[in-house]
Amino acid sequence: MNKLKIGIMGASGRMGRMLIESTMNHPNTELGGAYVRSTSSLIGVDAGEFIGGKKSGVALSTLDGSQVDVMIDFSLPEAFDEALNQCVTHKIPLVMGVTGLSDDQEAKLQDAAKHIAIVYAGNYSTGVNLSLNLLATTARVLGLDADVEIIEHHHKHKIDAPSGTALMMAQAITEARGQNITNAAIYGRKGAAKRQRGDIGIHALRGGEIVGEHTVEFMMDGEIIQITHKAQNRATFATGALRAALWAAQQPAGLYDMQDVLELK
């Protein structure tokens, strides 16, 4: 069996480095490309040596989708258009982990999924995706009798707020309760106003080097249910992304998520 050649966007970033390591160590994948900005001083540096490991034979370079079987992108929205165009042009599946996409970019992703397989998720952790099922079940049983609050913690370098995972959790809850997330979500609070029935509070905390922590509280008269997920390191996201890449390589064109990859639907 030939190993799947993985291309990694944002290779010099935190997740990029973790993806390089995980790809090189996985028995069924190999590094096909590691991409950085055209202005980067790292262009030409061996990707394996860059992360402090063995020589990979793949140099950090500008984007070239012709050399890989699947693209993994955990970079930034600014690089989205180029990565998506490369994948559509070369007919390669895309595992998209970039959060904070604009409405226009979301629409482009939907359109591209008519031509290639795309896995798009706010979080690639197996634990988080199992948590989404737990949240949906809890929300379905308790309905609007429970007051729901979502609290997420991330490192001080994270740009978007709330996190993509927090929004995934809110979406799972609102769908289970027959709500519209646009009407139900309250992002932080300020001023003098009572909580409304069905509100879902979403609170983003930023500081230190926290990889990612999410807690959802279902508060009722007399009892509280808490569902919490804590990521100990970024390896869990890289492992999930590679699992998604191997799965996507076998799928027809379409827009999928980690619930599809893990067969949780």
List domains and CATH numbers for the chain: 2-119+232-260 (3.40.50.720), 124-229 (3.30.360.10)
Q: Any binding-site annotation on 165?
A: yes
pLDDT at residue 82 is higher than 80: yes
Which of the following is catalytic: 3, 90, 108, 158? 158
Q: Any binding-site annotation on 168?
A: no
SS3 content of the chain, % helix, strand, coil (to 5): 35, 25, 40
Helix 103-112 to helix 80-90 angle, to the nearest 10 degrees?
Answer: 10
pLDDT at residue 238 is higher than 70: yes
pLDDT tier, 234 (very low <50, low <70, confident <90, very high otherwise): confident
Residue type, 6: I
Q: Is 154 designated active site?
A: yes
| Contacting residues for 163 by C-beta, under 8 A, at least 6 apart | 99, 122, 152, 154, 204, 212, 214
Q: Any binding-site annotation on 14?
A: yes
Comparing 154 with 233, the larger pLDDT belongs to 154
Q: Indicate yes or no: pTM above 0.85.
A: no
Which of the following is catalytic: 153, 154, 214, 229? 154
Helices (H), the chain: 14-25, 47-50, 80-90, 103-112, 126-142, 164-176, 181-184, 235-248, 258-261
Q: Any binding-site annotation on 95?
A: no
pLDDT at 1: 65
CB 11 within 8 A of CB 35: yes
Q: Any binding-site annotation on 131?
A: no
Convert the pLDDT of each residue in 170-217 to its tens digit. Answer: 999 999 999 999 999 999 999 999 999 999 999 999 999 999 999 999
pLDDT at 174: 98
